[in-house]
Amino acid sequence: MPERPPAELFDPPFEVVHPSVQTNPAVFNSPHSGRQYPREFLKLSQLDSHRLRRSEDCYVDDIFAGVVGLGAPLLKAHFPRAYLDVNREPYELDQGMFLDSLPAYVNSSSVRVAGGLGTIPRLVCDTAEIYRRPLYFAEAKARIQSLYMPYHRALEGLLDRTVADFGEVLLIDCHSMPSTATPASSQDPLPRPDFVLGDRYGSTCAPAITDFFEAALLRRGYSAVRNKPYAGGHITQIHGRPNEQRHALQIEINRALYMDEESLAVHGGFYRMTEDFQEITAALVRVLPDLFRPSRIAAE
């Protein structure tokens, strides 16, 4: 069992960076950019912190930090994704990781669990096994109750307050992805596009919002695709309800655009990326009421 409760391992576990005044109905979320690796976690892992960091959405919170100056809040995790993944159902767990039997309410059969990437991940993105020993369910439950649940309450609170103040909300869920993928049928890695925009195939936000981001990226010379291979995770799925004036879009950034994927250091592309997103989000908040309108008209 952990030497300290999970919430006490991080300083703090997560934070909301608030603007002095929220001036628009956008909320930004960076759930996978946490980079605090406490000794208790490292003792459980057979990987060092550098290897564990390969599962991070490195520096994504920094890329989007400027949205706060534009009047939008930013929620970001400090605990790492390798320790706990809040972009999953609360109890998506792999029975093979645990010594004791999991309760009936646990989802052990999802595709994400099968891939080793449940709420408590078994693997980092390069398929390396994280843990040196099996866990007990009580260890997973402690992480979920003290980190996952408060994180989601904080996100829900931001969205509820935004709807109360503006009548609607757009959640931008901010992520990054490895620059290449190796398909199951081949050992040859395939390059990924610069961006993947995930709206669950048009179901989680007004189409004009996805159109806006795609056009803005293409104008800046980036490549962008929709929903493949990332259509939007648990957070996008549960919070994207356009008929209730709640919109959600997941953005995946190709890491090679802004960092060295081996050393994990940023390169010159980081500064271009930060500047581009500052301009894109500044334009977004100016036109966001118009982007919402198609869904409002449909609802009426």
User: Would residue 104 count as lying in a domain?
Assistant: no
User: Would residue 64 count as lying in a domain?
Assistant: yes
Q: Which domain holds residue 250?
A: 10-35+53-80+143-299
| Cβ burial, residue 277 (10 Å; 0-12/13-18/19+) | buried
pLDDT digits (tens, 9 = 90+) for 211-263: 999 999 999 999 999 999 999 999 999 999 999 999 999 999 999 999 999 99
- Residue 190: the pLDDT is 74
User: Would residue 89 count as lying in a domain?
Assistant: no
* pLDDT surpasses 60 at 299: no
Residue 298's pLDDT band (cuts 50, 70, 90): very low
pLDDT digits (tens, 9 = 90+) for 9-24: 999 999 999 999 999 9
Tell me what the pLDDT averaged over the chain comes to.
94
CATH number assigned to the domain comprising residue 61: 3.40.630.40
User: Would residue 281 count as lying in a domain?
Assistant: yes
- Residue 191: the pLDDT is 85
Residue 1's pLDDT band (cuts 50, 70, 90): very low
Count: domains in the chain: 1
- Residue 201: the pLDDT is 97
- Residue-wise over 13-35: b if at least 16 C-beta within 10 A, else e? bbeebeeeebebbbbbbbbbbbb
pLDDT digits (tens, 9 = 90+) for 80-124: 999 999 999 999 999 999 999 999 999 999 999 999 999 999 999
- Which position has the token pair 């603007």? 19
CA dihedral in degrees (201, 206, 211, 213; nearest 10)?
-100
